Amino acid sequence: MRVFILGAGKVGAGLARAIRSAGWPVTLRAMRRGLPSRAIAADLVVLAIRERQLAEVATAMARAALLPRRCVCVHVAGSLDAEPLAALRPVCAGVAQMHPMISFASTGRTPSLVRGNVHIQGDPAAVRRAGALARKLGMTPRTFPGLDTIGYHAAAGLVANGAAALAAAGTELLVRSGVPAGQAPRLLGPLLRSVAENVEALGFPQSLTGPVRRGDAAAVAKHLDALRQRVPSAVPMFLASGLAQLPLARALSDAPAEGLDAVEGLLRRALATESS
């Protein structure tokens, strides 16, 4: 299948690199170059551009007759369904949303897509072709009828970007605790991967580990003191994280109720102090 990607940002460049490695022909065009001046020779066109640009670009592509009638067009925005591409329906075989739930952080490096998920919704021909691309890249295409795409995208952002922010705070604490700055991210990367593997394989609450799960208020207090001394800006994040862990810990029932109550009391007292 021939693929054309418009938009050479992090997602567009990453997908192009992965598709090329998988052995399919792909053309990558930066949006700053504008639309092509002649018809696009592709079976699948991917718009990897800003959400606010999608409807305008789709309309311009339709007017310029850039898509072959057999072609399908998809966008990779997470919070929008296929409708921003509606102007293309009369001139191609179908349109769809194709959002990879993968964190693309760099134009120069593609994260592993294997075992990743792609949410696809739209017209049948576009859904089938986008699904074929996902499977070619080692990903699983999924469709959830009636999905609230805003909530879906917010969940992805909460986990991906929240994890990055937590890791940044953890890196700072490691450095101030004696770990060389260049090595701290290398310590946390495998840790994050192990959490991801536990989440995927075990789900919740079983993937929770650590002193909150054990109801170890003394350990939580020591961690809190270390943060207050070395990275005080991360204390609110630590408290919010600890309180978010407590329902999981209570569901597991590994720790005595009084231990979990002690942890909760400690965290809530600290939160009140921070807020005052």
The predicted-structure confidence for 65-116, as pLDDT tens digits, reads as follows 999 999 999 999 999 999 999 999 999 999 999 999 999 999 999 999 999 9
Instruction: Assess whether 39 and 66 both reside in one domain.
Output: yes
Instruction: Assess whether 155 and 270 both reside in one domain.
Output: yes
- In three-state secondary structure terms, 72 is strand
Instruction: Assess whether 14 and 123 both reside in one domain.
Output: yes
- Average pLDDT over every residue of 265-274: 94
Instruction: Assess whether 136 and 159 both reside in one domain.
Output: no
Number of domains in the chain: 2
- Average pLDDT over every residue of 225-254: 96
pLDDT tens for residues 202-224? 999 999 999 999 999 999 999 99
| 218 token code pair | 């003394």
Instruction: Assess whether 78 and 101 both reside in one domain.
Output: yes
Instruction: Assess whether 259 and 181 both reside in one domain.
Output: yes
Instruction: Assess whether 153 and 237 both reside in one domain.
Output: yes
Domain boundary among 142, 170, 188: 142
Q: What is the CATH number of the domain that holds 70?
A: 3.40.50.720
pLDDT tens for residues 27-65? 999 999 999 999 999 999 999 999 999 999 999 999 999
Domain boundary among 98, 119, 142: 142
pLDDT surpassing 90 at residue 276: no
Q: CA quadruple 233, 235, 240, 245: dihedral positive or negative?
A: positive
What gap in Å lies between CA 192 and CA 243, rounded to an integer?
A: 20
What gap in Å lies between CA 164 and CA 180, rounded to an integer?
A: 19
Instruction: Assess whether 127 and 245 both reside in one domain.
Output: no
Q: Confidence band (pLDDT; 50, 70, 90) for 240?
A: very high
Q: What is the model's pLDDT at position 118?
A: 97
**122 phi, psi to nearest 5 deg:** 155, -145
Residue range(s) defining the domain that contains residue 242: 149-275
Domain boundary among 118, 142, 166: 142
Q: What is the model's pLDDT at position 153?
A: 95
pLDDT surpassing 80 at residue 252: yes
Burial class (CB within 10 angstroms; exposed 0-12, middle 13-18, buried 19+) of 83: middle
The secondary structure element, H or E, covering residue 47 is strand 44-47
Instruction: Assess whether 27 and 134 both reside in one domain.
Output: yes
Instruction: Assess whether 58 and 38 both reside in one domain.
Output: yes
Instruction: Assess whether 32 and 86 both reside in one domain.
Output: yes
Instruction: Assess whether 117 and 166 both reside in one domain.
Output: no
